[in-house]
Structure 1
Amino acid sequence: MQPEEVKHLLQARIDGCEFHIQGEGCNFQVTAIGDVFEGMSPVKRQQLIYSALSEEIASGALHAITIKARTPAQWASASPDSDRA
């Protein structure tokens, strides 16, 4: 898969989020920014992303996914030098 394919899948399955995807093949880094994450624990945020890609993970099209899921306020306050952890 290509990063743009992963981005389109996520945009179609999770409303109101901005996605930044890096990687290639079956290994990707997903950064998701959206109000949908407000009040969610880090685990629940990751589960939301994983569930949106469950078909691709089950088929093997996606294998390794690293996820950063932030609210817009968290994203804006993150230091650019910290890779916006």
Structure 2
Amino acid sequence: MDNNEIKNLLINALSPQEVYVTCNGNHVQVIIVCEQFIGISNVKKQQVVYAPLMKYIVNSRIHSLSIKALTPKEWQFYYKLNTL
């Protein structure tokens, strides 16, 4: 799978405010910002992101998946922290 394919899947499924995808073969890193994450645990955020990608994980098109799932407020803090 490529970056755009995964990004489009997540956009269609979750309507995030921001989504960044990096693929290295079947190893995928996702940073996703979504209002849907407000008030839910980190584990639940991970589950929400895994759901639309599960069939690709099961058939090994995605072997490993690293997720940073953030609310818009968390994103502002994360973005500022990582751009200083």
SS of the aligned residue for 1:22 comes to strand
Cα-to-partner distance string for 1:22-59 (whole Å, 9 max, x where unaligned): 12221010000011100010000000011110111111
SS of the aligned residue for 1:53 comes to helix
Higher helix share: 2
After the TM superposition, list the runs of 4 or more consecutive aligned residues in structure 1 that deviate by more than 4 angstroms.
none
**Structure 2 unaligned blocks of 5 or more:** none
Q: Counterpart of 1:16 in structure 2: which amino acid?
A: P
What residue in structure 1 maps to residue 14 of structure 2? 14
Q: Give the % identical residues.
A: 32
Distance 1:58 1:21, change over 3 A: same
Q: Counterpart of 2:76 in structure 1: which amino acid?
A: A
**Structure 1 unaligned blocks of 5 or more:** none
What TM-score, normalized by structure 2, do the two folds share?
A: 0.88
What TM-score, normalized by structure 1, do the two folds share?
A: 0.87
Count of residue correspondences: 82
What residue in structure 2 maps to residue 60 of structure 1? 60
What residue in structure 2 maps to residue 77 of structure 1? 77
| Two-structure CA RMSD over aligned residues (Å) | 1.5
